Amino acid sequence: MNGSEHRTLVLGGARSGKSAHAEGLLPREGAATYVATARRDPRDEEWNRRIADHVARRPANWKTVEAPRPDDLIDLLDNARAADPPILVDDLATWLTGALDDAGAWERDTSALTTVRGQRDELTRASESCSARLVLVSAEVGLGVVPESRAGRLFRDELGALNAGLAEVCDSVLLLVAGLPLRLR
């Protein structure tokens, strides 16, 4: 990592190693704030195991903040100071899923989509103005397959727009493929 990189976006497909790589961008011996965007579901044991695996690999000196609601993350970034420990947000695909759920946007209701797009723009603005070192993790979708369902196409389109907006404001953008980082910027 270059010392001048204040904001980094780490993209990758499912199981690409993007989260582990993003974690490796921050010093393990120092403090960090890990922002988890996933929503817990007590009925989903497999999902809860995945969350536990992520927690287990983090250094004990990292603080975890759960931010499952769209405004939770935006507020956290808006209130970060330059002297704060680095912030790692994992991940923005689950953040977007929550935003789409909360707004009831899956059926492409115009007012619901306006709400989600406003939150997406606010997240991009908050990321750009965040004073603390920031590492964002997001899924890269849409590498050629057109989803069969309307909801799948909506998610692909909205996540693609979110990733593109964040890439514009980040100093560094990485794409993880088969565990290997490719520097895009």
Full-model pTM = 0.92
Is 13 annotated to bind a ligand? Reply is yes
Is 129 annotated to bind a ligand? Reply is no
CA atoms of 181 and 21, how far apart (whole Å): 8
Pick the CATH number of 7-183 from 3.40.50.300, 3.30.565.10, 3.20.20.80, 3.90.1300.10: 3.40.50.300
> Could you give the residue numbers annotated as active site?
54
Is 14 annotated to bind a ligand? Reply is yes
pLDDT digits (tens, 9 = 90+) for 103-162: 999 998 999 999 999 999 999 999 999 999 999 999 998 787 888 899 999 999 999 999
Is 15 annotated to bind a ligand? Reply is yes
Residue 26 backbone phi and psi in degrees, to 5: -105, 145
- Alpha helices by DSSP H, the chain: 18-24, 45-57, 70-78, 92-103, 110-129, 150-169
CA atoms of 146 and 153, how far apart (whole Å): 7
Count of positions (residues) in the chain: 185
- Domain locations in the chain? 7-183
When pLDDT is cut at 50, 70 and 90, the band that residue 171 belongs to is very high
